Structure 1
Amino acid sequence: MSLCCCSGASRRLLLPRLFLGQQHQVGRSLLQFRATSSAAASSSATPLSPAQQRQVTLYVDALLDWNQRMNLTAVTDEAEVMTRHVEDSLAVLPPLERAYRAQSTSHGGDMGGISLIDVGSGAGLPGLILAVARPSWKITLLESMRKRCTFLEHAVEVMELSNVDVLCDRAENVGQSHDFREAFDVAAARAVAELKILAEYCLPLVRVGGLFIAAKGHDPHDEIRNAKAAVHTLGASMLDLCTVCDKT
């Protein structure tokens, strides 16, 4: 998994940070933990407690059940959901937290109680998994489709998550709202749209000095080049580029 992040500054103020990342690529070290939901969850670089593993199991069960009635994910096997969705979401945490601690100025790098909006949440990825792994965070799931929002509300209830809100609206509308513009410490997006479009959706939601993290495909370099103008216009620039390799 390759990850890159952005930062910027002007004469008058600190600018929002953009943090970009590729989707997690499943390796053999993850496949060997696919026997059960709890085993796969505990294999992550971000370990989960038994109670958190149970929450993940409840999520996966709900996802696969509802997926029979609506299109939530193309992955229909429990083991693949664990590796391609849950592990992928958890893989975001270490680089996100490193970048936040290094770049945050208003919070002194403190990760407790930060606010994160998952833009185009879909089936709740990565937002619901991050809410399980970091219960002190305040997570907002932004999804425009009412049917998917109904699933997200159900999943939040089943998983007994008290740190999640579901917002049913379009990102371009929410970004113009006084209630949400520049209101979040972190904006995250996974497999939603091309990066230059994502930047226009997500950066207006991020406070000055915050982060934007996006999960992309195997090679994001063309998207990054194509997005540079939009990113600059919106007041952000690249922070870093790193690669996280799967163990084999």
Structure 2
Amino acid sequence: MLVSRCKFPGVPTPLSVGTFVKHLAVPISTRLHCALVGAGGGAKSRAVRCPKFQALKNRQKEQIHLYVDALLEWNQRMNLTAVREADEVMERHIEDSLSIIPPIRDSYLSHCDASCGNIRVVDVGSGAGLPGLVLAIAQPDWQVTLVESMRKRCVFLEHAVNLAGVSNVEVVNGRAEDIGNDLCFREHFDVAVARAVAEMRVLAEYCLPLVRVGGLFAAAKGHNPDDEVKNAETAIQSMGASLLQVCPVESHGPYGQRTAIICLKGHQTPRKYPRHAGTPAKEPL
């Protein structure tokens, strides 16, 4: 597992996993969470109502289980998610993250004049790894970079990646505005994704500088984001992109209709960006 090879202003060197775990004072097990594998735990039966999860291969399902186990265990001492039960994590986070794959694939194949194999994806404000780590497990041919500004969350992400045995992921500790101005990452990715990070106009300024000309930016949003999209039109255009589609996302969980906002980048991002100071803190999911 790699942490960013580039240095960013004001970003100290990440802690090692061993150092952080020592101070965390919580046992890190490699066992599956009982709620995921036990007969009475509930998540296995609830997962039946998660068709996108069920469509994964057995190895991918195992990796998801290991990731959820780590998420719940570390969440006892870290603010990773407001969801505390395995079945809710499966429906609210895993299935929701998987649901953004079809609109990304369809839009990429239709508008980017390329196949979806071996594409480079960046998850901006990855937090607990949602949706980026889930995308990496479900699409092992994608190369996924998880960008997170908090060092302790990066330590968790590295632990989860190593525990689940995911080889197509890089964890980068840095702020989106710094990374977007760094030549190692600027306009480097085919697709940028973001979920539960900030409103659309702010996301456009953080994500689109990372996307190559001809690539996509996909934001996962809730029901009826029309006002948010309208307020973001100027920011999207100023970042060299245009709104491609706002499409409903099939959701089988109890959390209502989801929406994917897809933007297509048409020309190079201006050097003056962004207007906002500091990456907004990711809200507990």
Output the amino acid matched with 1:130. L
Match of 2:185 in 1: 180
Q: Which residue of 1 aligns with 2:57?
A: 49
Unaligned runs of 5+ in 1: 1-33
SS of 2:76 mapped into structure 1? coil
In structure 2, C-alpha distance between the alignment counterparts of 1:42 and 1:144, rounded to whole Å = 31
The aligned counterpart of 2:212 is: 207
The 3 A distance-change label for structure 1 pair 95 and 79 is same
RMSD: 1.8
Q: Residue in 2 aligned with 1:193?
A: 198
| Counterpart residue type for residue 131 of structure 1 | A
Q: How does 1:128-207 map to 2 (within 5 A)?
A: 128-207=133-212
Alpha-carbon contact 1:101-1:111 (below 8 Å) kept: yes
The aligned amino acid for 2:127 is: G
Larger Cα-atom Rg: 2
Structure 1 residue 162: deviation in Å?
A: 0.7
Hey, what does 2:241 align to over in structure 1?
236
Contact kept in structure 2, 1:46 and 1:90, CA below 8 Å? no
Matched letter for residue 90 of structure 1: L
Residue identity in the other structure for 2:212: R
Q: Quick one: distance in 2 between partners of 1:187 and 1:207? A: 10
Following TM superposition, by how much is the alpha carbon of 1:241 offset from its aligned partner in structure 2, in angstroms?
2.8
Alignment partner, residue 98 of structure 2: 90
When the two structures are superposed, what TM-score results if normalisation uses the length of structure 2? 0.71
- Deviation digits for residues 11-42 of structure 1 (CA, Å, limit 9, x no counterpart): xxxxxxxxxxxxxxxxxxxxxxx641894496
> Does the 8 Å contact 1:37/1:56 carry over to 2?
no
Paired residue secondary structure (1:139): strand
Aligned to 2:213, the other structure's residue is in SS state strand
* Structure 2 stretches lacking a partner, 5+ long: 1-41, 254-285
Equivalenced residue count is: 212
Tell me the percent identity: 57
Q: Is the 8 A contact 1:41 1:82 kept in 2?
A: no
Distance (Å, rounded) in 1 between the aligned partners of 2:155 and 2:163: 12
Does the Cα contact within 8 Å between 1:41 and 1:47 map onto a contact in 2? no
Letter in 2 for 1:64: L
Taking structure 1 as reference, are residues 245 and 39 closer, same or farther at Cα in structure 2, changes over 3 Å only?
closer
Q: Distance in 2 between matches of 1:159 and 1:37?
A: 22
Q: Which residue of 2 aligns with 1:125?
A: 130
Give deviations 1:35-60, integer Å, cap 9, x for gaps.
Answer: 41894496217720111000000000
CA distance in 2: counterparts of 1:136 and 1:76, whole angstroms: 31
Write out per-residue CA displacement over residues 159-213 of structure 1, whole angstroms, 9 at most, x where no aligned residue. Answer: 1111000000000000000010000000000000011110000000000000000
CA distances 1:115-174 after superposition (whole Å, capped 9, x unpaired): 000000000000111001000110000000001000000001001111000000000000
Distance 1:65 1:236, change over 3 A: same
Taking the aligned partners of 1:91 and 1:43, their CA distance within structure 2 comes to 10
Aligned 8 A contact 1:192 1:198 in 2: yes
Please tell me whether the aligned partners of residues 46 and 93 of structure 1 are also in contact (alpha carbons under 8 angstroms).
no
Higher relative contact order, structure no. (Cα contacts within 8 Å, ≥ 6 residues apart) = 1
Residue type matched to 2:82 in 1?
A
Tell me the distance in 2 between the aligned counterparts of 1:61 and 1:37.
Answer: 16
